[in-house]
Copies of this chain bind each other. A is one copy, B any other.
Amino acid sequence: MDLDADLVNRVTWKIPNALALVGSRSGEEWNAMTTSWITQLSMDPVIIGVAVDNTAVTHRLISEGGSFSVNLWDATDTKVFVKFSKPARHEEGTLNGREVREEATGAPIFAEAIAWLDCELRSSTDFGTHTLFAGELVAAGIHDDDARAAAMSDTRMKYGGVPRGGHR
CB-contact partner of A129 in B18, B42, B137, B163, under 8 A: B42
Stretch at the interface among A80-88, A93-101, A120-128: A120-128
Docked Cα-Cα span, A47 to B131, in Å, equals 11
B40 A51 Cβ-Cβ under 8 A: yes
A56 within 8 Å of B (CB atoms) = no
Residues of B within 8 A of A151 (CB): 16, 151, 153
Query: Binary interface profile of A, 133-152, with partner B (CB < 8 Å = 1, else 0)?
Result: 01011111110010011110
Q: How far apart are the CA atoms of A40 and B132 in the complex, in Å?
A: 10
Determine if A40 and B160 form an interchain contact, defined as CB atoms under 8 angstroms apart.
yes
Decide: A117 near B11, CB < 8 A? Known: A17-B18, A137-B3, A163-B44. Answer: yes
CA distance A3 to B153 in the complex (A): 31
Contacts A8-B137, A41-B37, A142-B10; is A15 near B149 (CB within 8 Å)?
yes
